[in-house]
A and B are shown apart, each in its own frame.
Chain A
Amino acid sequence: MKSITRQKPFSEVVQLLDRFDRVYIIGCGTCATMARTGGRDEVLEMKNRLQETGKLVTGWTVIPTACDEMTEAAARENEGAIKNANCSLVMACALGVHRVNSYLNNKAVIPALDTLFIGMEDSPGNFYEACAQCGQCVLGETAGICPLTACNKGLLNGPCGGTNNGKCEVDKEKDCAFTLIYQRLKEQGRLDLMRKYHPPKNYQVVPRPRIINLG
């Protein structure tokens, strides 16, 4: 599982940093490194580009996993450089941004990335969204293919009228989720499931923000 991110356009980063002249940059050694959006290379590139625009970069670090409590140790270790800056630019997914925020709450924390989805990697560098975290898993009856994620309309009761040669009407490069589900259920001898009525989803299982306490 990886939190898939995309770098914001540099112009947007510059606009977000408009009122800050001294910046500390924080990258992440896990997901953002794999997604090539906030690893060491990207952090250094960001540093150079910001310096070119006249910003003073007081320091940088790549936290092994920006979303966990190691961030606190990293924040302490780099306290001087962080204090010397008037904001932190975080090149991690939004979880990393939140984590940093919780330790540096007297200073502005600016995200440099947009968090897109929880992705799986099927070939090096190719990530796809497998789970929409809907809180009510239907995979048991959909041959392991998630229609909420793989269908552009998130339908539950079968394909819309727009399937064309197994492709989706919204994106002709993309397989129709229900054609895939149909074929796989057929192979599994479970086609009767295509006739089953799925009632409206219970969106109450995903109150926002979602909180769970294992303590």
Chain B
Amino acid sequence: MKPESKLEKVLSSGHFAVTGELGPPKSADLETLKHHAEAMRHYVESYNITDNQTAIVRTSSIGVAATLIQMGLEPNVQMTVRDRNRICLQSDLLGAVSFGVRNFLCLQGDHAKFGNEPQSKNVYDLDSMQLLQAVRKIRDEGVFIGGEKLEHPLPRIFIGAVANPFADPFEYRPLRLAKKVAAGAQFVQTQCIFDLERFEKWMEKVRELGLHKKVYILGGVTPIKSIGAARYMQNNVSGMIVPDALIERLKGAQDKKKEGLNIAVETIQRLKEIEGVAGVHVMAIAWEEVVPEIVERAGLYPRPRVE
């Protein structure tokens, strides 16, 4: 079956891919989000739409995906296992495919404790690994988790996962990726990369396991806006490494924002050189307007055209 997803087409034709990210608002007014999406139109293949990120109630990922499709843009629908049981996850998958979504990213999701409904029940009927496998089986074998057959086969969808090279146990992380690939992941997007040395070590092990040939790895890149933002990520975001050297570099810079962009551009340039890195996932939440500049300066513009 031929790929239908533009992201999959770009990756499978050997181009270095770029994906962006949009965080739905805490309202049903999508004007600002549409504006951001429009600004990135020619700079990214597709857009991750977060799923109630950090457990904060927002417009649903699938709802926003419908808007993007109307705009002629391609969404990567993020699906966390935090809020929905297997009935709802599978049903939402079908619903999203029905109106044209072709990329899905399966992930665990932040615990509800972090969000604005901390008293809610965490579902976790499935974990992200089980969701990956379920989505793959629905597509490839035409069966639901419970064993019942779909009435009609699914079109070709592109299945993604996340990987965190910076969380511990460090030596287990590449094996965890192997497990995700075996479960069904065709592409992975990583946690934001600030510690390139650590990332390279992870990639070494990933290559040893031959995983870079089985899954497209998109390195996560986030431009840092200020020293405060860097410190916040260093101290408050679990499973993220922000080296002190990076904070020192920002401190020494006259224009912090400009330096933040420089760092992001340099990171992408280094990622392009690493064997097995197939693209980048640029996460500039609340700073979306800089994505075109980053992509352009990193030498990734114009984006390839695929049929």
A-side residues, CB < 8 A to B, are 152-167, 169-170, 179, 182-183, 194-195, 197-201, 203
Question: Would you call B127 and A153 a contact (CB within 8 A)?
Answer: yes
Is the C-beta of B122 less than 8 angstroms from some C-beta in chain A? yes
Question: Would you call A169 and B238 a contact (CB within 8 A)?
Answer: yes
Expressed in whole angstroms, the Cα–Cα distance for A112 and B191 within the complex equals: 47
Question: Would you call B169 and A182 a contact (CB within 8 A)?
Answer: yes
B86: contacting residue among A159, A163, A170, A200, CB under 8 A: A200
Q: Which residues of A contact B168 (CB under 8 A)?
A: 163-166, 179
Interface size for chain B: under 10, 10 to 19, 20 to 34, or 35 or more residues? 20 to 34
Question: Would you call B191 and A161 a contact (CB within 8 A)?
Answer: yes
Contacts between the two chains (Cβ within 8 Å), count: 93
Indicate whether A162 sits within 8 Å of B86 (C-beta atoms), given known contacts A155-B124, A182-B169. no
B164 nearest CB neighbor, chain A only: A161
Question: Would you call B126 and A163 a contact (CB within 8 A)?
Answer: no
Q: Which residues of B contact A166 (CB under 8 A)?
A: 168-169
Question: Would you call A199 and B167 a contact (CB within 8 A)?
Answer: no
The 7 closest A-B pairs by CB, nearest first: A161-B164, A169-B238, A157-B129, A162-B238, A155-B127, A164-B238, A161-B239
B162 nearest CB neighbor, chain A only: A161
Q: Which residues of A contact B82 (CB under 8 A)?
A: 153
B127 nearest CB neighbor, chain A only: A155
Indicate whether A170 sits within 8 Å of B164 (C-beta atoms), given known contacts A163-B238, A194-B172. no
Question: Would you call B167 and A153 a contact (CB within 8 A)?
Answer: no
Is the C-beta of B57 less than 8 angstroms from some C-beta in chain A? no
Q: Which residues of A contact B111 (CB under 8 A)?
A: 152-153, 169-170
Question: Would you call A164 and B167 a contact (CB within 8 A)?
Answer: yes
Expressed in whole angstroms, the Cα–Cα distance for A203 and B130 within the complex equals: 14
Question: Would you call A200 and B179 a contact (CB within 8 A)?
Answer: no
A153: contacting residue among B122, B145, B163, B175, CB under 8 A: B122
Question: Could you show 8 A-B contacts with beta carbons less than 8 Å apart?
Answer: A154-B124, A158-B172, A159-B172, A163-B238, A164-B168, A164-B238, A182-B172, A194-B175
